[in-house]
Amino acid sequence: MEWKDYADFSVTDFLADDFFTEWVLRPNVENQSFWEAWQQHYPEKQTVIAEARAMLLSLEYQRYQMPAESYDRIWHALHGKMEHALPETMFMQGAHYRRNWRRAAMFTGVCGILALCALWLLRKEDKRAVYTSQFGENRRLLLPDSSVVILGPHSALKATAFSAETKTREVWLDGEAYFMIKPDLQGNKPFTVHTGDLNIEVLGTEFNVSNYDGRPQVVLHSGKVALRDNTKKSARIVMEPGEMITYSTSQNRYLRQKVVTEKYVSWVHHTLIFENTSLAEVAAQLHYKYGIHLQFADSTLRGEQFSATLQQADHKVVLKAIQEAFGVQLTQENDSTFLISR
């Protein structure tokens, strides 16, 4: 199926959706599992779902096929009109025309069907769905396999079709996201996250991926993942829970370290945790997450260390905390630019 965001669908949208229609009229294990999980995540949409289901089930479809005698009646009517227009030498050929008319009609119909099938098979269509978030927005996505993605601020996620026929589950991330991947019990449908040059092979697990500046960072909360860089011939990196992998441009390699994962995934709950974080790094996060440009009148401020746990955080909360922690002046230059000075 094509992965869609059904959260904003109306009754009309559901009625026009092929995957929803298939579930109502031709339920199977795949669509039944998806829609049951989806309704648990969005209980407020159950009334809309019920109304769309009732409308679909109330519809009756009938296939109408023209009887063979109808073709004869049409032919006789046309032949009667043609007798006054055709030369006399053609009257004797009427029976032959009538015998071949139906064959020609059937041949034309078959050719039309074959042409449509060829066009459908040869069409090139990008079926990847694209989902984006705005500055300061966390967006929750439910995947067709019942995995959950929390898309971070100012981020984008592309996804291939998830279906019983496909052998892989793949997404492409630009920005930041927290993944809660449903295990594949059969073990034949791996889940892969592509971000920059890095491929993340996933088993049933929870992990955070950040790649705002072209330097991917992966924090494993639970389960197991394996990383592979497309541009390097080195062996893949298998991570354990509580580890973070980052790319060091100065050393041109990936670094592994033990971390407290809550610090890196707290943004999912609208909480930001800073522990001895330089104001330069805080400024970078303000830019990635909220589109805010923080400028320093005194360059020595960039190296100052900032520690705070900020709940229900937005850029105003962060800037206020910096102002109080360092006793600095904050001047708003325009809608998105702030100047910090001693």
Q: Cβ distance 155 to 285 under 8 Å?
A: no
Q: Please give the full DSSP string across 8-21, using - where no structure is assigned.
A: G--HHHHHT-HHHH
Query: For residue 300, is pLDDT > 90?
Result: yes
Q: Which one, of 276, 239, 274, lies nearest residue 258 by Cα? A: 239
Q: Are 182 and 162 in contact (CB under 8 A)?
A: no
Q: What is the pLDDT of residue 329?
A: 92
Residues of the chain with CATH 3.55.50.30: 270-341
Mean of pLDDT over the chain: 80
Q: What is the mean pLDDT of residues 264-278?
A: 93
Quick one: tokens of 319? 């800037």
Point out which residues pair with 239 in neighbouring strands. 225
* Residue at 293: amino acid letter: H
Gyration radius of the chain over CA positions? 31
Cα–Cα distance between 164 and 326 in angstroms, integer?
Answer: 56
Most confident listed range (13-17, 39-43, 202-206, 265-269): 265-269
Residues of CATH 2.60.120.1440 domain(s) within the chain?
A: 129-263
Name the band, by pLDDT with cuts 50, 70 and 90, for residue 116.
Answer: low
- What torsion, rounded to 10 degrees, do the Cα atoms 221, 225, 228, 234 define? 100
Instruction: Name residue 329's beta-bridge partners.
Output: 341
Contacts 24+ apart (CB under 8 A), 226-230: 226/200, 226/201, 227/198, 227/199, 227/200, 227/201, 227/254, 228/198, 228/199, 228/201, 229/197, 229/198, 229/199, 229/254, 230/197, 230/198, 230/199
Residue 156's pLDDT is: 92
Task: Tell me the CATH architecture of domain 129-263.
Answer: Sandwich (2.60)
- Residue 23 has, within 13 A of its CA and on its CB side, a CA count of 23
Q: What pLDDT, in 10s, does the model give residues 166-192?
A: 667 889 999 999 999 888 776 667 889
CATH class of 270-341: alpha beta
